[in-house]
Amino acid sequence: MLLTTFLCFSFQVAEKPSIALSIATALSHGQMSTRRGSTEVHEFEGRFLGAPARFKVTSVIGHVFSVDFHGKYQDWATTDPLDLFQAQIIKTESNPKAHICKHLKQEARGCHYLVLWLDCDREGENICFEVIESTGFKINDVYRARFSSVTEKDVLNALANLVRPNRDEAMAVDARQEIDLKVGVAFTRFQTSFFQGKYGNLDARVISYGPCQTPTLGFCVQRYLQINTFKPEKFWSLQPYIIQSGYEILLEWQRSKLFDINVAMMFQKLVAEDGILEVTDISEKQETKGRPVGLNTVNLLKVASSALGFGPQTAMQLAERLYTQGFISYPRTESTAYPPSFDFRGALSAQRNNPTWGNYVEGLLTSGYQKPRSGTDVGDHPPITPMRSASEDMLGNDAWKLYQYICQYFIGTVSPDCKYVRKKVEFSVGGESFHCTGQHVITKGFTAIMPWLAINDKSIPSFTKGQKIKVSKVELYEGNTTPPDFLTESELISLMEKNGIGTDASIPVHINNICERNYVQVQAGRKLVPTTLGITLVRGYQSIDPDLCLPDIRSFIEQQITLIAKGQVDHHRVVQHVIEQFKQKFCYFVKKIEAMDALFEAQFSALVDSGRIMSKCGKCLRYMKYISAQPPRLYCGTCEEVYYLPQKGTIKLYKELSCPLDNFELLICSVAGPEGKSFPLCPYCYSNPPFEGIEALINTAKTSTSGKIGKGAGMPCNLCPHPTCPNSLVTQGVCACPECSGTLVLDPISAPKWRLCCNMCNCLVFLAEGAHRILTTKERCLECDSSIIEVDFNKKTTPLADGSTLHRGCILCDVLLHSLVEMKHGRGFKRMGSRGRGRGRGGRGRGRGGKMMDPKMSFRDF
């Protein structure tokens, strides 16, 4: 038996699990073993650096780390936003639950070399050094694979031509991340805190600022202001008609249009009085419409929006999916020029059997294809190119549309130019010049495969120079100038590219952000219409410091970051300079915020004029108003206090009950849908939790139930440890949640479909449906220490043998009640003997300001 001796172990890391699979498949020719980990690990034997080697291929899932502020800067209430400019930033694991750092460290043990198959852009370079940090490899043992597609040919070629990772490009990303974090968070926290809750119909959870996001919004608002301030003007144009060879022809006036009706009528009279046109010149010229240059990301996004109906975010998601499946090359590229060594014949040959354009491709391969026109090579990736053939059935409708465009575009780049003959006939009458034009296509060229760019034939009759023709009629057309339309996504992308706002990768993110923040709305034709909030914000920036919403500063920052990537400037000096610049602007912005507030005041209604009467204030006993616009809140006009409420759910008064701690009337929040639940809350306790230590529990609930907790705090009654309140956790809690560390609490208004809801997660437990009444009691189960519940069954449907309706028991240990339990979003119950739930209800609180002994009630381990 032959024993293979491996001289080295090679650890290969890709950016996504799908890329890792493609790379491993290509390098092993499909002969590999796969095992599970945080991400899959593929192992096989091969040769590395000319020697026998054992390969181990795995992946990260995007960035390993993300930048954030230290914990002491996380509290909005205690942190001055100005301090954030000088605050130290830390890198934390982007997705702690995935355990990527631990996974990389474990899998790298015993390996001699690290090969990084990250995306070949600056972000990918940054992730390279995140992986190096996680694995602990020395830089001399680290290699970088550069590739543009995951075909076997490209992967093998990349392995044969390994390079070293580029620290300068990685540092450029670090610089951008630190600048965007500090500037964005400082401005966002200040203006959110200043405006949120001040106006009743201001619908915004977060009023965000971003060095890229805000200039992007600025373009949209600038177009809106152009439309809003536009004043139409009337114009007039001469339209003479002639009849030639049986065709009536409208001639075009050389002056086009005039804005003075008297002058226009004078020319009309001159032409009408003369009445005879003379042909003064006939010209024919062969013209060429050149085939396109290679396709880059920005042009793909523009077409996806204007022609295919996909937003930039959706288009990039589809393109990335096509790339990871091996159908196209890397979709993030700024280059429109192909490298001299590019295999055009190979790329075309992959499409020769395609049922849609295979015949056309076969013709190109037979008669000879053209090389694409010279474009721009920025040194990143070749233009986006189809790598293998596909059909609509393979890809699905949306992905197919994008793939079809990429294929037709690429085939168009290697097709002949379109050639046509343009004919122009010029006329003179009454001292004025007119003309008509026609055109005839000689060679369709690339427009045969890209018909949306085709030149249409336009025939005109034959004329001879000096020929006299009678004018059949002369009309004076009256029209109005029209304002520009709202920016389309395609136009906005062009403006962002022109002004250096964002990169090919981040442009879709910035456009998506201004939509999600309710600054603009996407309307028919992918037009971006700014909202009142978006308009008011930009006008506010313009009134204080126009630089904050103009592209100039961001363009300068991007230029400096590019210099960092080229190793020409120091990373720290650039960051310090930019941060100091924005710090000064922030101080001035804070000082002049009243100018922006005046604009908000003119557009949004004051709290006192907003909302509807809801419940009584516990301080003044006057009615408070409920304002449903985000963030939902109650406003007491007498005390001038705002109380924030859960962001999801319908809010109603709860039986006119009051909180025993502060006398505020209780509310009930009902969340609809499959994860629906109801819970009571005190507006004051919700915004100002009265028990020490409750904040940790609230933060757990925040992460477990997305979007449920409003601004400021979030202690509903099902988290309250008050010992005697009939609505508190102590009274209504039944047993531990089987899914998390929370407690299953009786939903007080769930009849007739009675249920228990976890106060931490979305776990629901349905009880005896149709029962007249279900109550919790003070009794405890001797086996598991859960609360005993009392069920009053319907007489007609009671499961009790003797026909009685009243039954008490534990839902875990009582055979009858346990048989009626139905779990949703959970693993189900087991009878667990006497493991119990720790200290049960032993925890007690001392009222407002008292120390909470046992906030979670220790309902565990049943």
Which of 521, 523, 541 minimizes the C-alpha distance to 531? Answer: 521
Sign of CA dihedral 724, 730, 733, 734: negative
Residue 479 CB coordination number (10 Å): 12
Omega of the bond leading into 752 within 30 degrees of 0 (cis)? yes
282: phi then psi, degrees, rounded to nearest 5: -130, 125
Contact in structure between 200 and 627 (CB atoms under 8 Å):
yes
Q: How far is CA 37 from CA 34, 56, 204, in A?
A: 10, 12, 41
Residue 206 CB coordination number (10 Å): 16
* Distance (Å, whole) CA 511 – CA 458: 40
Told to judge if 626 belongs to the known catalytic residues of this protein, a careful annotator would answer no
Bridge partners of residue 789, in order along the sequence: 776, 809
Contact in structure between 442 and 289 (CB atoms under 8 Å):
no
DSSP designation for 739: S
Catalytic residue among 224, 330, 338, 684: 330
536 Cβ contact list (under 8 Å, min separation 6): 596, 599, 600, 603, 604
Contact in structure between 238 and 253 (CB atoms under 8 Å):
yes
DSSP 361-429: HHHHHHH-PPPPPP----SS-PPP-B-S---HHHH-HHHHHHHHHHHHHHHHHTSPPEEEEEEEEEEEE
Q: Crossing angle for the helix pair 593-603 and 532-544, nearest 10 degrees?
A: 150
Residue with tokens 């990918």: 124
Residue 61, token pair as written in the block = 């899932």
Residue 846 CB coordination number (10 Å): 14
Residue 750, token pair as written in the block = 């769930």
* Distance (Å, whole) CA 404 – CA 410: 10
Say which amino acid occupies 840: G
* Distance (Å, whole) CA 235 – CA 476: 10
Bridge partners of residue 4, in order along the sequence: none
Q: How far is CA 263 from CA 252, 257, 322, 487, in A?
A: 18, 11, 60, 36
Could you tell me whether strands 677-681 and 665-671 are parallel, antiparallel, or unpaired per DSSP bridges? Answer: antiparallel
Contact in structure between 121 and 302 (CB atoms under 8 Å):
no
DSSP 822-833: EEESS------T
Residue 777 CB coordination number (10 Å): 11
Residue 101, token pair as written in the block = 């750092």
DSSP 246-290: TEEEEPEETT--BS-HHHHHHHHHHHHHH-EEEEEEEEEEEEEEP
DSSP E strands, 415-503: 418-429, 432-443, 468-480
SS3 content of the chain, % helix, strand, coil (to 5): 35, 25, 40
Residue 315 CB coordination number (10 Å): 25
* Distance (Å, whole) CA 378 – CA 365: 29
Residue with tokens 């001392």: 846
Q: What angle do CA 263, 266, 270 make, to 5 degrees?
A: 145
Residues assigned a catalytic role: 330
